[in-house]
Amino acid sequence: MRLAKGIKEVIRNPRKYMVTIVLGVLVILLGMFTIRSAGSRKELSYTECLDQTAVTVNGQKVTFREAALYVAYEEQSVQEQALVYDMDHTDKYWNLHIDGEFVRVAAKHTTQQMLIHDMIFYQMAMEENLELSEEENQAFENSFCDFWSDLTDEGKEEMLGVTEKEIHEAMHRMALAQKYQEIYAVIHEISKEDLAFNGEAYQELLADNKYKVNENVWDRLSFGNITLRHDD
């Protein structure tokens, strides 16, 4: 009875209860936003986002499936440093805060930048119809066999959810990108090191390209725990 009486009172005097009504609506909307935000921040396993866009470079979308090679490579590189820091508790290194940034966050950003870097040079290589020579292709195949062997020895390919063919294709794109980077360096009389993803000359080149990182998905990945398992 009290509820019905209260509703009638609100209907008769809406202005009197306007503030209460507005606050009530805001509380409901805030609750809906909080629930939705919590869902969007929920941690993802890498296999859940394979076909989502990782980065877009000059209008070309690159999926997380295509980015898996870079994730595996960077996690392993940082893990080698973590083993030196504390062999028995490698997660300690991943959680360090160095130069204003957590190691795992810095590794994620490095992965993104390496991917964008190689896609820019790969796109230029494709414009020139560049191919690997027989000798270069043999060196690439040897590198691929070594990398794939290391990946499968620890079951990392299953953690990533990718196939041998997909990693092979990604490494082939990387090899073409590296070859064109060397050619670009010669043409423009720049050292190859200056054209690395953190090099000054590359940063100038990057400014002439358009790229976008899908941070909404990257932020939901536990970088450092995608292909790695740490001791407690």
Cβ neighbours around 124 below 10 Å, total: 19
pLDDT tens digits for range 34-54 = 344 434 468 999 999 999 999
| pLDDT given for residue 126 in this prediction | 98
- Whether this prediction's pTM lies above 0.85 is answered by no
| pLDDT given for residue 214 in this prediction | 98
pLDDT tens digits for range 85-139 = 999 999 999 999 999 999 999 999 999 999 999 999 999 999 999 999 999 999 9
pLDDT tens digits for range 138-182 = 999 999 999 999 999 999 999 999 999 999 999 999 999 999 999
Q: In what order do the strands lie in the sheet with 53-57?
A: 60-63, 53-57, 211-213
CB contact at 8 A, 193 and 202: no
pLDDT tens digits for range 181-202 = 999 999 999 999 999 999 999 9
